[in-house]
Amino acid sequence: MLKLNTAQNRTPGFDGKRLHLLESAARVFSRTGYDGASMRRIAAEAQVSPAGIYNYVAGKEELLYWIQYHTFDSLLRSLNRSLEGVSDPRVRLATAVRNHVRHFGENMHELKVCARELETLEGEAYDAVHERRRSYFEAFHNLVKGLQPEQGHQPDSWIATANLFGMINWFYQWYDAGRSRMSLDDLAAQQTALFLDGYFASTSNGDDGGNE
């Protein structure tokens, strides 16, 4: 199961075409869901014949796998990059949330697929994506734990992180990038403030809650 399309003799432009195919698939998946999306529709979206898809991926399953793996991997990568040189715990968390929300806004289709089809893959493919996802969550969990260096043990930090993930993942359900008057950065700041200081403090202050 899940025989990946291994490296072989390729034509220049192969990678670019496969990337284009993955983007098209992500669009269709985000619109109709994984099961509701047909290879024929994906092919039409990518302007290829249905059979032509199989020159670039081994099957429908691998399309979803690459989309999810690439998304979590690049999320994690850009997170680590944006955290470089930032030391204040509150600012670090704010940076992470901003990175997440920006990534969401710019790759709405991919992340929608990642949020909705978490349990679709099975076996090795699921495990591989799960590992990246877990790493990303752990990164956030560490940021949350880092908020309180004075306390040795914080039993609820895991659940607090899970709730934070709820806020920053659920917003794809209601946020419309083109139509909203609020920018992605403003939204991220508000979510950070809400998590750190709660609704009262984050709204009675004019700013985002005091992160430097």
Contact positions vs a copy of itself (CB under 8 A): 32-36, 116, 118, 120, 144, 147-148, 154, 156-157, 159-160, 162-163, 165-171, 173-174, 182, 187, 190-191, 194-203
- Provide, rounded to whole angstroms, the least separation between the CB of residue 6 and DNA: 12
- Binding of DNA at residue 59 (CB under 7 A)? yes
Q: Which of 11, 87, 151, 204 binds DNA (CB under 7 A)?
A: 11
- Provide, rounded to whole angstroms, the least separation between the CB of residue 65 and DNA: 12
- Provide, rounded to whole angstroms, the least separation between the CB of residue 96 and a copy of itself: 14
- Binding of DNA at residue 17 (CB under 7 A)? yes
- Provide, rounded to whole angstroms, the least separation between the CB of residue 110 and DNA: 18
Q: Which of 22, 24, 61, 69 binds DNA (CB under 7 A)?
A: 61
Nearest Cα to Cα of residue 208 among 78, 90, 50, 124: 90
- Provide, rounded to whole angstroms, the least separation between the CB of residue 57 and a copy of itself: 20
User: Cα(92)–Cα(84) distance, rounded to whole angstroms?
Assistant: 9
- Binding of DNA at residue 50 (CB under 7 A)? yes
Contact code string over 23-42 relative to DNA, x by CB under 7 A? --------------xxxxx-
Tokens of 68: 């999810």
4 phi/psi in degrees, rounded to 5 = -70, 155
Contact stretch for DNA (CB under 7 A) within 59-67, 93-101, 124-132, 176-184: 59-67
Position of tokens 């039993």?
155
Q: CA angle, 17 as apex, 178 and 112 as ends, to 5°? A: 35
Nearest Cα to Cα of residue 73 among 130, 22, 17: 130
Torsion of CA 22, 25, 27, 28, to 10 degrees: 180
Q: List b or e across 106-139, with b for residues whose CB sees 16 or more CB atoms inside 10 angstroms.
A: ebbbbbbbbeebeebbeeebbebbeebbeebeeb
Residue list 159-178, contact with DNA (CB under 7 A): none
Positions that interact with DNA (CB under 7 A): 8-11, 14, 17, 37-41, 48-56, 59-61
